[in-house]
Structure 1
Amino acid sequence: MSSIYKSKKNIIIGKIGKPYGLLGNNKINSFMEKKSNIFKYIPWIIKKNIFQKLKIVFYKKTKMIAKIKGVNNRDQAQIYTGHNIYINNSKLPKLKYEEYYWKDIIKCLVYNMKINKLGMVTKLIETGSNDVLVVESSNKKLFIPFLMKKVIKKVNILNKIIIVDWDYNF
């Protein structure tokens, strides 16, 4: 089996929604910053017991719908509802200096400037003005704005460490 089917190399970029219309289309829920960019990564991968390629024969960006090959009616489309849409990591574009994918930030250990361990990034929240790190340890949950230079002082993706200018009373 090719490497595209190995789960550690795949990331979720969206989810297949409910059927749309009578001809076998599905709504598509994109997790990408620009929602319609999900269509740039066709073919998609889904997991139905194993990872498998999903061929899309038609899509419409304005309505965020897609038609899966071999799906010709609403009942067949319903079978795919709720499946995550994956792509292989290698399909993602290279980022500029000091740009990061959320997938790379998750599980980073966070330390403040005094080298106190604050916890681990468990998720990020998009607020509109800036992203927010959710940092958790055994006894606390912190919400730290992802503001480069001002709050985020250093990000080392290779070692999974983030240094922040953030005081917290232990």
Structure 2
Amino acid sequence: MYSYTDPIDGILGYRNWTLVQDGKRRPVKMTEGRRHGAGIVVQIDGVSDREVARTYCGAEIVVPTADLPDLPAGEFYWHQLEGLVVLTVQGECLGVVHHLMETGSNDVLVVRPSSESIDQRERLLPYLPDQVVREIDLASGKLVVDWDPEF
């Protein structure tokens, strides 16, 4: 499996998972796990057959947000940023944060157009607080960026 936690094996600190696959949700309990190369291998309670385990390939693993540790001020979980409206410092709407991705040097916001955006372009914006990302307001659902809409 691949984990988006930081560090990657941070997912092993959560035992109760929900697997989401083909629109179906299934609660499972992870009984043990360890790093293996670039990924992680885990044992799911009640799954001892390799072929049964293969049926879980491609499933998304979610954990209850209540189980996540509180973050220091100014830090956010990716899921908190997804869905935020992205505005330039001049107030122009670029779209909505669809998801984030790791690039190695910094994370990237994938901003997809919305009915309110200035155009229908998808944009990749570096997630650089205080440089590109100027303000995040979860309560109002907005993320303000210092970004040229033509770029």
Which TM bucket (shorter chain)?
A: 0.7 to 0.9
Q: TM-score, structure 2 length as denominator?
A: 0.81
Match of 2:148 in 1: 167
Aligned-partner SS, 2:90: coil
Matched, 1:54 2:35: no
Q: Which amino acid in 2 is paired with 1:54?
A: V
Q: CA RMSD in A?
A: 2.2
**Residue 128 of structure 2 aligns with which residue?**
147
Task: Answer whether contact 1:44 1:55 (CA < 8 A) is retained.
Answer: yes
TM-score by length of 1: 0.73
SS of residue paired to 1:37: helix
Give ranges in structure 1 of 5+ residues lacking alignment. Answer: 1-27
Query: What's 1:110 paired with?
Result: 86
**How many percent identity over aligned positions?**
29
- Give the letter aligned to residue 95 of structure 1: L
Choose from 137, 140, 150 the match for 1:156. 137
Contact 1:39 1:61 in 2 (8 A): no
1:88-131: CA deviation from partner (whole Å, max 9, x where unpaired): 11111111111111111111111112111121111212112211
Whether the 8 Å CA contact 2:3–2:11 is kept in 1: the answer is yes
Which residue does 1:132 correspond to in 2?
108
Aligned-partner Cα distance in 2 for 1:58–1:128:
28
Which residue in 2 is equivalent to 1:45? Answer: 18
Q: Match of 1:83?
A: 59
The change in CA–CA distance for 1:45 and 1:114 in structure 2 (over 3 A counts) is same
Question: Does the CA-based 8 Å contact 2:15-2:31 persist in structure 1?
Answer: no
Q: Which has the higher contact order (CA 8 A, sep 6+)?
A: 1
Stretches of structure 2 that go unaligned for 5 or more consecutive residues are 114-118
- Give distance in 1, aligned partners of 2:31 and 2:130: 45
Q: 2:45 corresponds to which residue?
A: 69
